Amino acid sequence: MENQNQKLFGALLQAQKAFSAVRKDGKNPMYKSQYATLDSVLDAVRQPLLDAGILLMQPPVDTGERLEKPCATVRTTLIHAESGESLEVVTSIPLAKNDAQGYGSAVTYARRYALMGLLGIAPEDDDGNAASSSAGNAGRQQVQRPRQQQNQQAAATSSEKKEAAKAGPSLESALEKVKKSPVEKLDFAEQWCRMNFTGDDLKALEKAIAERRSAAA
């Protein structure tokens, strides 16, 4: 069975090949972001659609939904002028404010997003935004580098501590423990020293233990 919109789809394919980039030319001060306005979207697609013989229509329509909740509804229609084939979508957007200004904003919003969805397009960043993004990435990298260096230094310090722990206690720390050990625990301290030290270090510790005992006698 032959596709009913075969000629329309063929013309739409040719139009899509000629679409220009949709620029984010609008600014949202509340969210400090940029977006593509309806004018930007239309500038990107209007002429290629006309060259392909496709008529674009986006009238607001009343579907009765507004009786249940305030909203604006737009019917977006693509018509192939030569064959009369058509394709349409209906888009409803709730009103942020239930007045003329709110209705107009919702209609514009519906037209913009229905058109981008139907034609398969999306806004792109301009060179300025790309440069800003690159600068932002560079700034983040500069912030991350000191953090990475700190992490590396912390890891190295931790590794040194682990190696020191594997090597056993130092003579200085052992002597400090002997000095602070209660007299009644010097026997235990002496056994501990003999388990962890040998040679001159052990002699120095035994001497320190003997001096502690003599001082306490």
pLDDT of amino acid 177: 82
pLDDT of amino acid 77: 97
Q: Is residue 130 part of a domain?
A: no
> 114 and 167 in one domain?
no
pLDDT of amino acid 128: 36
> 85 and 23 in one domain?
yes
- In the chain, how many domains are there? 2
Residue 79, strand partner residues: 55, 86
Q: Is residue 157 part of a domain?
A: no
> 115 and 175 in one domain?
no
> 170 and 108 in one domain?
no
**What is the 3-state secondary structure of the chain?**
CCCCCHHHHHHHHHHHHHCCCEECCEEECCCCEEECCHHHHHHHHHHHHHHCCEEEECCEECCCHHHCCCEEEEEEEEEECCCCCEEEEEEEEECCCCCHHHHHHHHHHHHHHHHHHHHCCCEECCHHHHHHHHHHHHHHHHHHHHHHHHHHHHHHHHHHHHHHHHHCCCHHHHHHHHHHCCHHHHHHHHHHHHHHCCHHHHHHHHHHHHHHHHHHC
Tell me, rounded to whole angstroms, the distance of Cα 38 from its chain centroid: 27
Per the CB < 8 A criterion, the answer to whether 49 and 56 are in contact is yes
Q: Is residue 20 part of a domain?
A: yes
pLDDT of amino acid 127: 40
> 121 and 14 in one domain?
yes
Q: Is residue 183 part of a domain?
A: yes
**Cβ-based neighbours of 145, under 8 Å, separated by 6 or more:** none
Domain assignment of residue 82, given as a range: 6-125
pLDDT of amino acid 124: 72
Among the candidates 125, 151, 177, a domain finishes at 125
pLDDT of amino acid 47: 96
Written as tens digits, the pLDDT of the chain (217 aa) is: 356 899 999 999 999 999 999 998 888 777 678 888 999 999 999 999 999 999 999 999 987 765 677 889 999 999 999 999 999 999 999 988 888 999 999 999 999 999 999 999 988 754 434 334 444 454 455 545 555 566 666 666 665 555 544 556 788 888 888 888 787 777 777 777 777 778 888 888 888 888 888 887 7
pTM across the whole model: 0.54
> 179 and 94 in one domain?
no
Q: Is residue 193 part of a domain?
A: yes
pLDDT of amino acid 211: 86
pLDDT of amino acid 129: 42
Question: How many residues belong to the chain?
Answer: 217
> 80 and 180 in one domain?
no
User: How buried is 196 (Cβ within 10 angstroms: 0-12 exposed, 13-18 middle, 19+ buried)?
Assistant: middle
